Structure 1
Amino acid sequence: MTARRVLIMGGGSGIGAATAALFAARGAEVVITGRDEARLAATAGEKITARRLDAAVDDDVTAFFAGDAEYDDLVLALSGGAGAGPFADLDLAGLRRAFDEKFWLHLGVLQAALPRLRGSVTFITASSARAALAGTAGLAAVNGALEAMVGPLATELAPLRVNAVSPGVVATPWWDGLPADQREAMFAEHAAKLPVGRIGRPEDVAEAVVFAATNGFTTGQVIAVNGGLSLAS
């Protein structure tokens, strides 16, 4: 990989942190942002610089991109925790928050970042956008909205390349809200249904993100990294 400057918004843990580590291992200069200073400090390293930033605060985002720093690649790994549950009882106020925390947040950051980008943008979405699993209609709406924009953005923003990586169930802090026994039981049940026989690791998704960001002949694509979820019965 040639020397690149990469910005990962939401890079303090999980998929964002794994992506930062992989880019750095392959020679890139990486800047990560997030709200949790402890997680940022744990991820930072020789080639990874951490900047505390709340992407939900417009003034903070504007100030961050007001300088003259440019980036080859932007990875948007911002995620919210709301929006799941059976539709009949779905908390619509929570779903609105989910759009605010992910869909609108991604678009606002991308608009602010555009003058500083020269290579690629990669959204981290989720397989809920297309898996048609019960209890995920809200999540499908949020992630599906982002995925629907990938093609039009790739056309409109060219030569900037725009892609998304769409993970399945991956062992990240996103699931920490579940009690440990329920989480592990859910992971085991899901793994048993997948052709690969396991749930995902952040490093699995990181490999796809680095590919999407650095392959100059790939744009307008949603890359599924889900262990064969669409093949499972």
Structure 2
Amino acid sequence: MSGKTALVVGGTSGIGLATARRLQALGATVHIAGRSADRLAAVAVSDPGLVGHRADGGDREAIAGVIEGIGTLDWLVVSLSSSEGAGPVAELDLEQLRRAFEGKFWGHLTTVQAALPHLAPTGSITLVSAISARAAIPGTAGLAAVNGAVEALVRPLAVELAPLRVNAVSPGLVDTPWWSGLPAEAREAYFAQAARALPARRVATPEEVAEVVALAATNANLTGTVIEADGGARLVSLA
């Protein structure tokens, strides 16, 4: 797959960074975009083959500038996330939920709009949502709304933008910096409890989800599909 060009927005950590590495291993020239100068600097040291750009996916002017500088894109991956929006609905801070929509849903849509003039007709857009969109986990109604909105883009855009392919990957529990707000001991205890409940009996690594994202991005026969890479989380109760 040499000669291909990819951009991973939200590519400085977690699933995004693992995906960038995976696409690079497939022979693509891979650009990553992120907001954190510190993370970009760290990736420049750990992965000097990745081309870093400082930009917020929700900032139309900034992300458009990055994409215009790259030129034609074959594979666009949007892996933006937000740590806000969780909690029981009766106590949910709606301002936090609005920020979650701004950071994730609007960030995804803004990036897609900015990229459209630069995507190869036979290329792809791959969005990263989360299994909260289709599971029934108490305390995740806000997260479900945000990720459900991301997933709702996939099928209509796959038809509207054809032959450009549009897919999403819906991860479950993944050991990424998204969980860094929890103290290490509490996080490990929750992961152990969740692993016992999951049919896969384990919490995923970013690399495992990245394999699925890369498949969605590169497989010419996949479009209009949300791939559940959740270890079976949607099938059981994680309450």
What range is the shorter-chain TM-score in?
Answer: over 0.9
Deviation (angstroms), 1:178: 1.0
Whole-angstrom CA distance in 2 between matches of 1:73 and 1:105: 17
Counterparts of 1:1-233 in structure 2 under 5 Å? 1-44=1-44, 45-67=47-69, 69-118=71-120, 119-232=123-236
Q: Residues 33-92 of structure 1: CA distance to partner in whole angstroms, max 9, x if unpaired?
A: 101223223334353111111223332123223346111000000111111000110111
Cα-Cα RMSD = 1.4
Q: Check conservation: 2:68, 2:118, Cα contact below 8 A.
A: no
| Aligned residue pairs, count | 233
Whole-angstrom CA distance in 1 between matches of 2:63 and 2:84: 23
Unaligned runs of 5+ in 2: none
Whole-angstrom CA distance in 2 between matches of 1:221 and 1:9: 20
Identity of aligned residues (%): 56
Give the TM-score normalised by the residue count of structure 2: 0.93
User: What residue identity is the alignment partner of 1:103?
Assistant: F
Whole-angstrom CA distance in 2 between matches of 1:225 and 1:132: 16
Q: Check conservation: 1:28, 1:47, Cα contact below 8 A.
A: no
Whole-angstrom CA distance in 1 between matches of 2:190 and 2:129: 20
Structure 2 SS opposite 1:8: strand
